[in-house]
């Protein structure tokens, strides 16, 4: 492993390029000249994402590229930026192990103070199948993927001859009734409405938008009447809002609700479920999914480890009820935390007194699509067009970088005067090795379908039923570590068998094109599959299928 040469000036290394990380780096830079302090920010993308704009990227109002600002522009020349993925923290040795460059080399980065501002990662394992089949709304790639997925669904709905497929392609389910969920479903509904005229075989009545909320109202972060207003506006536009409803399972073809209803859908967007990043998990201070700090933003028990933003669990002064309170994971708090963090690191370096964190937010706002919004500012409730306009203005103000502000404004203006683009940029790039979940009774394959990959059962059980042309039936149970698809040798292998899940079943799938590539190149693997295929069937039956 290579080691970056140590320098005499203290090295402050910040992991994560969101509001917390970027603003902490800038605040520190303002406190100390470049010769006094080496400040370095490490992130695995070279741009800052303003998350509240993601629903508008997903709906095509804002170009993906316009919604973000390069870190190098935000940080300037006097803060070092490193595009790399942080893999491990060595606390005693005061280094980080990062992967960087073309070959993803492991490089060691030394630090004197380490700031963890890495946010959270999606955590969907609480609902079976959600991890395998839901789209997220965490980063720019997610928003971009959602937009392309929705357009793919429209293209599919326009040409399929199967009513069930069409219904599935045109039902869009968003899980979670917080800011992100409400804005996402509002934007998707707008996008659908505006795109419809290009799809002659799709009518407005066939579209279905469902918002699932576990609690008894939308936007729990805002007063109850604002949640009710948002619900009423969404419902007026034909969006189904299901309160007190949880998801119990998700598959490639439907979601299952806690009242046993199933909704056939090809689009599940999960705006719920935040968990710690693997990096946070690796530290002993990670509790309840966040890094516990003291009131100075230092990791509990540490002297030169700091955390802020969504990754951190930061205590606030106790309220009247003397219950412990913590800083909520919002951009407003992260920005405020960054200023205190910069002060406290500088104070530590200079032997001065640290300050405690406290902050009262100004308010909160949400867009609900169709030029309507809700919000509360300085305790005043706002709804309708005015709230929407203030939401836009406020977000524009929050956006760092004048060029980004200009580009986003222009995108908003162009969207107002031009038709929305239906260009579906991303091809369906399924990873070679993916995972899928089937509920008991679900079909995995039906006779006449294309064998689209190699299926390895991880948990549960599949049943394979082949009926030979002479009527003889062959039944096979496929349990954990057993597989189907061993006979896949050509892209157009059509199955004679019916494959169903006997119980709730998780499988690993290797897609057919990758499997063929593997078989062709890797002879031992090909032999293994050939032998497995021969073992599966009684000899007299094998010739029949």
Interacting residues with its own copies between 27 and 66 (CB under 8 A): 44-47, 63-66
| Cα separation, 180 vs 37, whole angstroms | 38
Among 10, 34, 91, 156, binds its own copies (CB under 8 A): 156
Residues 438-467 that bind its own copies (CB under 8 A): 448-450, 452, 456, 458
Rounded to the nearest 5 degrees, what angle is found at the Cα of 254, between the Cα atoms of 477 and 181?
Answer: 140
Instruction: Closer to its own copies by CB, 68 or 327: give it.
Output: 68
- Helix, strand, or coil here: 423? coil
Contact assessment for residue 64 and residue 144, using Cβ atoms and an 8 Å cutoff: yes
φ, ψ for residue 32 (rounded to 5)? -140, 140
Instruction: Closer to its own copies by CB, 31 or 99: give it.
Output: 99
Task: Write down the least CB distance from residue 193 to its own copies, Å.
Answer: 16
Q: Which among 537, 396, 366, 456 has a CA at the least distance from the CA of 62?
A: 396
| Continuous H helices in 66-178 | 71-75, 130-133, 140-159, 163-169
Task: Write down the least CB distance from residue 432 to its own copies, Å.
Answer: 4
Task: Write down the least CB distance from residue 65 to its own copies, Å.
Answer: 5
Number of residues that bind its own copies (CB under 8 A): 93
Q: Does 155 bind its own copies (CB under 8 A)?
A: yes
| Cα separation, 39 vs 111, whole angstroms | 10
Q: Does 152 bind its own copies (CB under 8 A)?
A: yes
Stretch binding its own copies (CB under 8 A), from 112-120, 136-144, 240-248, 391-399: 136-144
Q: Does 72 bind its own copies (CB under 8 A)?
A: yes
Task: Write down the least CB distance from residue 106 to its own copies, Å.
Answer: 5
Task: Write down the least CB distance from residue 162 to its own copies, Å.
Answer: 8
Residues, the chain, total? 545
| Cα separation, 193 vs 416, whole angstroms | 14
Instruction: Closer to its own copies by CB, 111 or 333: give it.
Output: 111
Among 31, 433, 468, 545, binds its own copies (CB under 8 A): 433
Contact assessment for residue 305 and residue 296, using Cβ atoms and an 8 Å cutoff: no
Q: Which residues pair with 433 in a beta bridge?
A: 510
Residues 510-529 that bind its own copies (CB under 8 A): 514, 517-518, 521-525, 528
Task: Write down the least CB distance from residue 434 to its own copies, Å.
Answer: 9
Task: Write down the least CB distance from residue 287 to its own copies, Å.
Answer: 25
Q: Does 481 bind its own copies (CB under 8 A)?
A: yes
Task: Write down the least CB distance from residue 113 to its own copies, Å.
Answer: 20
Buried b or exposed e, range 511-544, using 16+ CB within 10 angstroms = bbebbbeebeeeeeebeebeeebeebbeeeeeee
Residues 226-265 that bind its own copies (CB under 8 A): 252
* Residue recorded with tokens 């959602």: 146
Residue 190 neighbours by CB distance under 10 Å: 21
Residues 195-214 that bind its own copies (CB under 8 A): 198-200
Among 261, 403, 472, 479, binds its own copies (CB under 8 A): 403
Among 9, 160, 246, 467, binds its own copies (CB under 8 A): 160
CA-to-CA separations, 530 to 22, 35, 467, 519, in angstroms, rounded? 54, 65, 21, 10
Residues 371-400 that bind its own copies (CB under 8 A): none
Stretch binding its own copies (CB under 8 A), from 121-129, 340-348, 352-360, 423-431: 423-431
Among 81, 333, 357, 388, binds its own copies (CB under 8 A): 81
Q: Please, which residues have CB within 8 angstroms of residue 491's CB and are 6 or more apart in sequence?
A: 450, 512, 513, 516
| Cα separation, 124 vs 191, whole angstroms | 26
Residues 483-512 that bind its own copies (CB under 8 A): 491-492, 494, 508
- Helix, strand, or coil here: 70? strand
Instruction: Closer to its own copies by CB, 322 or 428: give it.
Output: 428
- Helix, strand, or coil here: 274? strand
Q: Which among 27, 26, 28, 52 has a CA at the least distance from the CA of 331?
A: 52
Task: Write down the least CB distance from residue 381 to its own copies, Å.
Answer: 37
Its sign, for the CA torsion 110, 140, 145, 133, is positive
Task: Write down the least CB distance from residue 98 to its own copies, Å.
Answer: 10
Task: Write down the least CB distance from residue 493 to its own copies, Å.
Answer: 10
Task: Write down the least CB distance from residue 508 to its own copies, Å.
Answer: 4
Stretch binding its own copies (CB under 8 A), from 30-38, 175-183, 351-359, 411-419: 411-419
Q: Does 168 bind its own copies (CB under 8 A)?
A: yes
Q: Which residues pair with 3 in a beta bridge?
A: 108
Stretch binding its own copies (CB under 8 A), from 121-129, 184-192, 339-347, 427-435: 427-435
Stretch binding its own copies (CB under 8 A), from 81-89, 361-369, 370-378, 380-388: 81-89
- Can you give 21-68 as a three-state secondary structure string? HHHHHHHHHHHCCCCCCEEEEEECCCEEECHHHHHHHHCCCCCHHHHE
Residues 89-118 that bind its own copies (CB under 8 A): 97, 99-106
Contact assessment for residue 82 and residue 100, using Cβ atoms and an 8 Å cutoff: yes
Stretch binding its own copies (CB under 8 A), from 122-130, 224-232, 348-356, 422-430: 422-430
Structure-block tokens of residue 287? 């509790």
Task: Write down the least CB distance from residue 80 to its own copies, Å.
Answer: 8
Residue 386 neighbours by CB distance under 10 Å: 12
Instruction: Closer to its own copies by CB, 318 or 450: give it.
Output: 450
Task: Write down the least CB distance from residue 197 to its own copies, Å.
Answer: 9
φ, ψ for residue 417 (rounded to 5)? -100, -20
Stretch binding its own copies (CB under 8 A), from 163-171, 328-336, 339-347, 381-389: 163-171
């Amino acid at each position: 492993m290579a080691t970056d040469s140590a320098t005499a000036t203290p090295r402050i290394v910040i992991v994560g390029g969101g509001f917390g990380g970027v603003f902490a780096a800038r605040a520190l830079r303002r406190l100390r000249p470049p010769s006094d302090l080496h400040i370095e920010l490490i992130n695995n993308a070279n741009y800052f994402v303003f998350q509240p704009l993601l629903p508008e990227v997903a709906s095509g109002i804002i170009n993906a590229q316009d919604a973000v600002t390069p870190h190098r522009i935000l940080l300037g020349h006097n803060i070092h930026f490193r595009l790399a993925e942080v893999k491990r923290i060595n606390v005693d040795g005061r280094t980080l192990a990062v992967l960087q460059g073309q070959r993803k080399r492991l490089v060691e980065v030394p630090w004197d103070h380490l700031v963890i501002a890495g946010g959270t990662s999606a955590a969907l394992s609480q609902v079976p199948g959600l991890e395998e089949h839901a789209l997220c709304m965490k980063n720019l790639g997610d928003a971009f993927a959602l937009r392309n997925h929705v357009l793919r669904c429209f293209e599919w709905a326009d040409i399929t001859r199967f009513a069930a497929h069409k219904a599935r392609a045109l039902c869009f389910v968003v899980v979670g009734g917080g800011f992100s969920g409400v804005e996402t479903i509002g934007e998707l509904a707008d996008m659908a409405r505006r795109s419809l005229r290009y799809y002659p075989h799709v009518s407005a009545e066939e579209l279905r938008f469902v918002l699932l909320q576990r609690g008894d109202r939308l936007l729990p972060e805002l007063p109850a009447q604002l949640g009710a207003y948002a619900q009423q506006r969404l419902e007026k536009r034909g969006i189904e809002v299901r309160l007190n409803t949880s998801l119990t399972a998700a598959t490639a073809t439907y979601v299952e609700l806690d009242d046993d209803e199933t909704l056939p859908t090809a689009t599940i967007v999960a705006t719920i479920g935040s968990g710690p990043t693997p990096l946070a998990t690796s530290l002993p201070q990670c509790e309840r999914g966040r890094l516990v700090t003291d009131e100075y933003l230092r990791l509990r028990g540490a002297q030169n480890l700091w955390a802020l933003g969504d990754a951190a669990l930061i205590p606030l002064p106790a309220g009247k009820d003397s219950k412990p309170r913590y800083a909520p994971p919002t951009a407003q708090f992260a920005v405020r935390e960054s200023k205190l963090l910069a002060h406290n690191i500088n104070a530590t370096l200079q032997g001065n007194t640290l300050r405690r964190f406290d902050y009262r937010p100004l308010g909160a706002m949400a867009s609900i699509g169709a030029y309507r919004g809700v919000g509360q500012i300085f305790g005043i409730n706002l709804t309708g067009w005015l709230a929407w306009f203030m939401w836009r203005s406020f977000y524009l103000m929050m956006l760092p970088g004048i060029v980004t502000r200009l580009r986003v404004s222009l995108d908003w203006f162009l969207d107002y005067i031009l038709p929305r683009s239906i260009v579906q940029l991303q091809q369906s790039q399924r990873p070679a090795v993916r995972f899928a979940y089937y509920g008991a009774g679900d079909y995995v394959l039906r006779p006449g379908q294309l064998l689209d990959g190699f299926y390895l059962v991880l948990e549960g059980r599949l049943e394979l039923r082949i009926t030979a042309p002479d009527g003889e039936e062959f039944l096979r149970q496929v349990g954990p570590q057993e597989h189907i698809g061993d006979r896949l040798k050509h892209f157009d292998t059509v199955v004679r068998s019916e494959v169903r899940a006997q119980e709730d079943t998780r499988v690993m799938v290797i897609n057919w094109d990758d499997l063929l590539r593997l078989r062709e190149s890797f002879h031992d693997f090909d032999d293994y599959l050939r032998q497995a295929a021969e073992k599966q069937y009684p000899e007299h039956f094998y010739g029949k299928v």
